[in-house]
């Protein structure tokens, strides 16, 4: 029988109670360990490494134990990630989708012991696909809102960021004229009116040694 290496991941949002001899992280680990033991006939074995994040939010992926877990997954040392509940891994659908994508690349399954969620079977994968569909919907709706807001702001004459055009500099939500560049801009337009061709204007400016002035970005 093939040995299936299982890693338990636990997380608690607040630090309250972590100093106790038996806290939430221990309770989660015990429940996960019991579930793995119940699957011994399938070859499941619990890895001794502990991946515990105490006092850290599930809204971010910047967690020490989670980073170690992902490194071990990439290193091919884990076959199944076992958690007490789905939200112990992540409270963000977008982050959850990123994690599952990383799991898929290394053929790692994901199991929640208190919910009907197990990607080692077809029903669990169906549930996962539904969650990822909602995650994609959330991303697309958010992107649409941002695009609509930017378009509406631009229509009101507001500056929405990016590289300002030559002759201007950001001034809050508007653009202010840079006087030392304004003369150059007027000269370029005047040359275009004379020559009527952008390529000819470019060549003329190059021959005259006129180049774009240096500008320092905010970064």
The Cα 111–Cα 91 span in angstroms is 16
pTM of the predicted structure, to 2 decimals: 0.57
| Length of the chain as a residue count | 219
More confident residue, 43 or 122: 43
For the record, the structure tokens of 207 come out as 């021959």
- For residues 202-216, average pLDDT: 84
pLDDT of residue 121 exceeding 80, the answer is no
> pLDDT at position 175, please?
87
pLDDT in tens, 33-65: 999 999 999 899 999 999 998 888 777 788 999
Residues 6+ apart with CB under 8 A from 57: 13, 91
- Domain spans, the chain: 4-121, 168-207
Percent of the chain with pLDDT over 90: 27
Q: For residue 73, what pLDDT band results from cuts at 50, 70 and 90?
A: very high
pLDDT of residue 116 exceeding 70, the answer is no
Percent of the chain with pLDDT over 70: 92
- For residues 86-93, average pLDDT: 77
Q: Mean pLDDT score of the chain, rounded to an integer?
A: 84
Long-range contacts, 31-35 (Cβ 8 Å, 24+): 31/84, 31/113, 31/114, 32/8, 32/82, 32/83, 32/84, 32/113, 33/8, 34/113, 35/82, 35/111, 35/113
CATH superfamily of 4-121: Resolvase, N-terminal catalytic domain (3.40.50.1390)
Residues 6+ apart with CB under 8 A from 8: 28, 29, 32, 33, 36, 46, 47, 50, 51, 82, 83
């Amino acid at each position: 029988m093939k040995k299936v290496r299982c890693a338990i991941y636990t997380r608690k949002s607040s630090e309250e109670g972590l100093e106790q001899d038996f806290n939430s992280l221990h309770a989660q680990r015990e429940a996960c360990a019991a579930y793995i033991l119940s699957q011994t006939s399938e070859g499941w074995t619990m890895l001794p490494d502990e991946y515990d994040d105490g006092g850290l939010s599930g809204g971010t992926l910047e967690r020490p134990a989670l980073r170690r877990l992902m490194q071990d997954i990439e290193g091919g040392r884990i076959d199944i990630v076992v958690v007490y509940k789905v939200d112990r891994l992540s409270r963000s659908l977008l982050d959850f989708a990123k994690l599952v994508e990383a799991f898929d690349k290394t053929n790692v399954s994901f199991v929640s012991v208190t919910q009907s969620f197990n990607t080692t079977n077809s029903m669990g994968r169906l549930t996962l696909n539904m969650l990822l569909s909602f995650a994609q919907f959330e991303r697309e709706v958010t992107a649409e809102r941002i695009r609509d807001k930017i378009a509406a702001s631009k229509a009101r004459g507001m500056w929405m960021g990016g590289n300002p055009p030559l002759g201007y500099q950001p001034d809050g939500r508007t653009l202010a004229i840079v006087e030392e560049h304004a003369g150059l801009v007027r000269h370029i337009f005047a040359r275009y009116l004379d020559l009527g061709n952008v390529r000819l204007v470019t060549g003329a400016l190059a021959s005259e040694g006129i180049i774009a002035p240096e500008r320092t970005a905010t970064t």
